[in-house]
Each structure stands twice: as C-alpha cells, then as structure tokens.
Structure 1
Amino acid sequence: MVGVMTALTSPGQLAANLPGILGFYPHDSVIFAAFDCTGTAGRFRLGPVIRLDIDDMRHLPDITRTIDESGGELVFAFVVTDRDEEEVGEVVDTLLTMVRTGIMDIHACWIAGEILTGEPVQLAFGPVPEPGEEGWSEAWLDDVIAPVAQAQSMGALLEHGMLPDLNREETFEQFARFNPSFSPVECEQLSEFAHRYSRELLRALEQGEERTWGSFAALSGDIALLLTEIEEQDLTVADLMADEETLLTMGAALGNATMRDIVVEDVLRRPSPAADLLLAVARTFGGPVRFNALALHALCALELKLSMRAIPALSAVLVEDPRHSLTRLLLDACRAGAFDELLAAVRQGSVIVRTAHGITPQLGVEAA
C-alpha cells in the first residue's frame, strides 16, 4: 500500500498505475484506492492503495479501519481476477454488502481480468445519479487499461532500471534469506559471529576501549566510507553477497539498536549503495541483523521514492518477528502514506542518538 500524486481521468488510467504503485502485477486481488480532497471541486489526490487477496476477504474490516484512519474521502475498488463469473460475483456481492451495511464506503468498483494494456475494465457498481444530475461518461462504465509502461507511477522504477515484478510472490522472494556465495552452515556461522561481535563492540565503545572502532564517530565514518566505495566501484548486490568482510562490517553495525540508529543517517545520505548492501546483509544473516537490515533497506527505498519496495521488506520482517518494534513503527507510517514525515522523523531520531554519542556532522565525516 502506498500513496502517490498523479492526474487520473478514467478507471483505465488508474488501473494502469497499479503495477507501478504496488511494485508487482496483481492477480486474484481486490485493490482499494483511497483519495483525499484537494480543496478544488471535482479534484482528488490519490492516497493509500491497499491490495487484498481474494481468498482473504475476512480481512476486509482491517482494510476499512486502515482507510478510515488515512482520512480518505473517496474510495474506488478493483477486482482483478480471471476466475469464473460466479466467483467474481461473490466477491462483488461481499463488497456491496459492506457498502449497504455502512461498513465501508466504496464509491465505485470495477472488474478486470488482469492488469495489461488494453484489457477491458468494466464497472461492477457505482453511484446512482440524483434526479437532474449528469451521470458518468461511457469511459467510466466500460474502459480499457491505458499503456502500463507509460503510467506515471512507473517513473521511479524506470529511473532506477526496474520494472514491476510479475507477481507478489516474486517481490517477496527478493527478501528471502539466501546467499549462494556461502553454504547455509557458513551463513549461520557468519550470523552468530556478527551478533556476538556487535555486542562486544557496543560494550567496548560504551567503555571507551580501543577495538575495531575507537569511537561511535569512527563507526559512522567507516560505514560512510564503505558506502562511498561501493558506489564508486558500482558493486552489485551479488558482488556484496560474496564479500565476507563487507558483510560482517555492516552486520556488526546492525546487531543492536544503538549502533543501528547511529548509522541510519549514513545510509540515508547514500541510499542507493546502502540499499544494495543492506539487502545483501539481509540475505546473509538471520535474527536482529537481518531484521534491522530490512528495516533500513525499506528506509533507503523510501528515500529513493521506491515505496513499493519498502512495504514488502517490512512485511518480510514481521512474518519472522512480529514484535520487531522499529519495523512495526515504519510499517504503520507507510500504511498511512506518510513517507516524507516518516523519513524526517527517523532522521531526527538518528541525529539525537548520534549527538548523544558524541557525533557531529563534522565528526561523522572526518572519522572516515
């Protein structure tokens, strides 16, 4: 679920934007698009977009609550499936029941077999014009999906050389723990070492002992330098997954909340190389290092305007650890579409932690 701003004049245009908004092509899905008022009559701003599996309709009350909390003034729904007419009818009937009982205020609902350019989009139900009121144009009743590749929501993906994934499963596979450069046993050994070393480093730093990093500023400086080198050498995620020293350096920095919060500012200054390194770390290590890596990877994605990549990363964490507090906070803000506010708050929090541990902007750079 994400929020974007775009100019849309037909259901076919809105549907064409869905792969870019979600980050993948939806199948067997019900998608809710909430709009906020702009203050200009007849004009709305696209806010949160929420996808639900057709087989998970029991979660509709949760969707309703999320939309209500976002303050959406107008809600459109899309049923995207190639199932038979009877099954589609059951889904539409369920949505209509939600509307008629006042549980969810869906202004209109359309049906599409799949989100492909030229695919028909047909109105399932919508508002009935008041006496004397002009009804919707034909395009809002029966439309076709506009060119998906030209949709405005594709801009951020294309800018980074990406395309929407073919399905939701493919999106989540990116965040699975799997590093082909090391055996599962080796990954476990690396993970155990990173967590143990992280605890030792934090204790040494707090006591002023000379270890790998003699100060928290040196920690920040080394991470900043590492990210600069990755960017200059144009290293890929695959390259980074094969570099044990680099993995352990970042892994050790993510093994506890204090050091994690300190390096947040460093990774957000260089979000592109940081996103790649954090993904490599998440695929290699388990436990808190993995969870923190995915959380910070999501923040980098938001900084790069790739919100469609952030939410799956956060969701992957909560599947393994529903109590991971940072991830829960980040995901709640993402569900509200408050991306800019979230980044500002996280940055402010990192600055507070850095200042408390003797790091100024100058020290963070000079320590490298």
Structure 2
Amino acid sequence: MNITTPTQPIRTPGDILANIPGILGFFPAESAILISIQPSPRGYSIGPVARLNLGDVPGALQEVMDAFHCGDPEIIFCFVLSQRREAELWEILYSLYRFEDRSGLGIDACWLAEELSTDTAYDLIFGHATESGEGPLQDWMEGTIPAISTSHSMRACVDNGLLPELTRSDLVQRFKAPNPYFAEEEISAMERCAEELAQQMRAGEGYGTTDPVEVVEHLINDVHYVLSEVDSLEEALENEELLCVAAMWMSTTWTRDLVIKDLLAVPQEAGALLLAVARTFHGTIRYNALALYAATQVSQEFGIYAGPALSVVVEEAPRHNLGRLIAQGYRSGMGKRLITRLCHGCELAREAAGIGVDSPA
C-alpha cells in the first residue's frame, strides 16, 4: 500500500487520474486508488491517497479508512485501473460498493479505466447518479484522461528534477539497490566501526574528551559540516568518510535522535546522504536512515519518495518503531505535524544529554 498526501484542487475525474503518477511516483496498474476529498480554503481538495493491489481488496480497505479518518474526509473516491473485463472485476467492484467502515464511511463513487495514459477513457461504475445521468455526478459519468504531462503533480515532479517510474517495482528499487562501490567485507567493517564509535560516544568519550556534554556538542556541530560536503547521491555512495559518519549517527537511537533536527534543516543534502547510507548498510542503520530519509522528503513538501521509502521500512522491519510511527503520521496526512514532532523529540534528546534548547550547539 502506498499513501501520499498532496493538496490539489478538484476538477474532474480525468484531472484526478492525470495527477496520480505524480502523486504516487509511478504509473500504477491493476490497482485500486482510493482518494479522500476534504474541504479546504479553495473548496475541495485531495487529501491522503492510497493504492491497493486489486487482490488486497476488500481486506485492506479498513486500514485505509482508519488512516483517512486522521484527516477530515468528506468524500471518498475510488479509481480501479485494470485491463480485465468488467465481468471479471465484478466481485472487487461489488465489495467496493458495499464497503462501509466502523464509522459508517463508505466509498461515494468509483470509476474504471484500463490504464493511466493520456486520452484513455474512464467510466463511472457507481456513484450519486441515476442511469439517466441525473444527480450530483451527472457531469462526471465518463470522459478521457487529459494530458498527464501537464498535470499539477507532474509539473511538480519536473520542477524537482524527477519523473515517475513506470512501475512500483522500479520505484522501490531506488531504495533496495545496493551500493556498487563497496564489497560486503568493506561494508561490514564500516558498520562495526560506526557502531563502536556510537557506543563510545554514548559512554561519554570521543573527540578527544571524556566530558559527556562536550562529546554531544561536538557530535551536533559535526552534522552541519558533514552535510555541507554532500553534493549528490552518487558522490555520497562512493565517499567512505561521509558514509561512516552518517552510519554512526544511525547506529543507535541515542545518536540518531540527537541529529534529527539538523538533518531536517537541510533536507536535500541530508536526504541524499541518508539514502546512500540506507543503500550501503543493513539492519538498524539502514532502517533509521530510510525512515529519516522519508522525513526529509516530507519536510521539502514534495513527498513523492516518502511513501515508497516508508513502505520498504514497514515491509522489511515491521517492528522498527521510528519507521512505523513516521509511516502512520504520513499516511494520515499529518506531514507538517510529523516534522514538528520529530524536531521536538530531538530537542528532548538534547536536553536529556545536557544540551539546552537554546544552546549554540
């Protein structure tokens, strides 16, 4: 399941469909896309968006609705994308029509389209319209998808130097591709070194001092310098020094929480370094890096990679607390609140380590 939280004006079903690749980061196929529509100062806008494999309908619908309820959903739309004949989709479409969650919220309207491509036709399967076309959705019964390349979300992708992948597998590979510059033996040695340094600092030793507060001050001050050395993901992947320092940050909950605020302050550089770390290392280091990478994407208000990164964390490490908490907040459409909470948690960690909130460190 992929969930993202853009905010865009609502116009027609075709316009919504054209925005889906830019929202999810890939072109979904054989999927059900659920979209919560909520009030905004400009009228109605898109809230959280969820993608389900058709085989997961109806089993995952309640989970999606639980996430939607954290916002202010007034209407729930569904778009089924499939090359199958409508008769083969009957059970899935009927389950969508019949679904109602514990609060009584159901799916208000559902459209069917073969694929997400420009000029592809879509048809209303059920919704507030009679067979003669009368009702609130009488002008939304059928149509074609407009140019995907000019949709709001696709323009945002281009502005950020990105394009949606063709499939979800292609998108997920961004987070699973291994670092090509180091052998496993080298990576294992780097991991051990990072973990030992983190444990040393947790014990109050490092940077040539045995004063625990000074150790933490040096650790925090190092973050800005290290991030200033990051130019791109590719360069970070081959820079052993940068990788080892960032791996040390991600080795323990203690070191990780101390640096969160500074990472989120420069999300572009931090995101590149954290993704390089996630693709290089394993276990705790990888999952902490992926979770905070997702947070850097949310803080840039362009979360095309946040959802997929969090999905990988939850799939690979369902008990990873930070990843699970960030995923829950993100899927519920609470991006800004999530960033605020992470920064507050960092401040609390620093206070516990003897660093005041207003400290120059």
Give the TM-score normalised by structure 1.
0.89
Structure 1, unaligned stretches of length 5 or more? none
Aligned-pair CA distance for 1:185: 2.9
Q: Which residue of 2 aligns with 1:62?
A: 63
Q: Which residue of 1 aligns with 2:165?
A: 165
Q: What is the root-mean-square deviation in Å for CA atoms of aligned residues?
A: 2.8
352-361 or 282-291, larger mean C-alpha shift: 352-361
Describe how 1:191-230 pairs up with structure 2 within 5 A: 191-205=191-205, 209-210=209-210, 214-230=214-230
For 2:249, give the aligned amino acid.
A
SS at match of 1:179: coil
Structure 1 residues 294 and 162: alpha-carbon distance in aligned structure 2, compared to 1, 3 A threshold: same
Is the CA contact (8 Å cut-off) linking 1:295 and 1:327 kept in structure 2?
yes
Is the CA contact (8 Å cut-off) linking 1:129 and 1:135 kept in structure 2?
no
Aligned-pair CA distance for 1:129: 5.5
Q: Which residue of 2 aligns with 1:272?
A: 268
% identity of equivalent residues? 30
Is the CA contact (8 Å cut-off) linking 1:217 and 1:359 kept in structure 2?
no
Aligned-pair CA distance for 1:141: 1.1
Asked whether 1:284 is paired with 2:280, we answer: yes
Is the CA contact (8 Å cut-off) linking 1:177 and 1:286 kept in structure 2?
no
Q: Distance in 2 between matches of 1:198 and 1:48?
A: 37
Asked whether 1:94 is paired with 2:95, we answer: yes
Q: Which residue of 2 aligns with 1:258?
A: 254
Q: Distance in 1 between matches of 2:192 and 2:49?
A: 39
Q: Distance in 1 between matches of 2:323 and 2:89?
A: 35
Is the CA contact (8 Å cut-off) linking 1:188 and 1:286 kept in structure 2?
no
For 1:22, give the aligned amino acid.
L
Structure 1 residues 207 and 152: alpha-carbon distance in aligned structure 2, compared to 1, 3 A threshold: closer
Q: Distance in 1 between matches of 2:101 and 2:327?
A: 31
Asked whether 1:340 is paired with 2:342, we answer: no
Q: Which residue of 1 aligns with 2:84?
A: 83
Is the CA contact (8 Å cut-off) linking 2:121 and 2:143 kept in structure 1?
yes
Is the CA contact (8 Å cut-off) linking 1:177 and 1:285 kept in structure 2?
no
SS at match of 2:60: helix
Aligned-pair CA distance for 1:8: 2.1
220-229 or 277-286, larger mean C-alpha shift: 220-229
Q: Which residue of 2 aligns with 1:314?
A: 310
Describe how 1:1-368 pairs up with structure 2 within 5 A: 1-38=3-40, 43-57=43-57, 58-98=59-99, 105-128=106-129, 134-138=135-139, 140-176=140-176, 178-205=178-205, 209-210=209-210, 214-230=214-230, 235-357=231-353, 358=355, 363-364=360-361
SS at match of 2:125: strand
Q: Distance in 2 between matches of 1:102 and 1:129?
A: 26
Is the CA contact (8 Å cut-off) linking 2:129 and 2:137 kept in structure 1?
no
Structure 1 residues 247 and 100: alpha-carbon distance in aligned structure 2, compared to 1, 3 A threshold: closer
Aligned-pair CA distance for 1:33: 0.5
Is the CA contact (8 Å cut-off) linking 2:191 and 2:281 kept in structure 1?
yes
Structure 1 residues 102 and 203: alpha-carbon distance in aligned structure 2, compared to 1, 3 A threshold: closer
Aligned-pair CA distance for 1:209: 3.7
Is the CA contact (8 Å cut-off) linking 1:64 and 1:103 kept in structure 2?
no
For 1:192, give the aligned amino acid.
R
Which structure has greater helix proportion? Answer: 1
Aligned-pair CA distance for 1:127: 1.1
Q: Distance in 2 between matches of 1:56 and 1:350?
A: 37
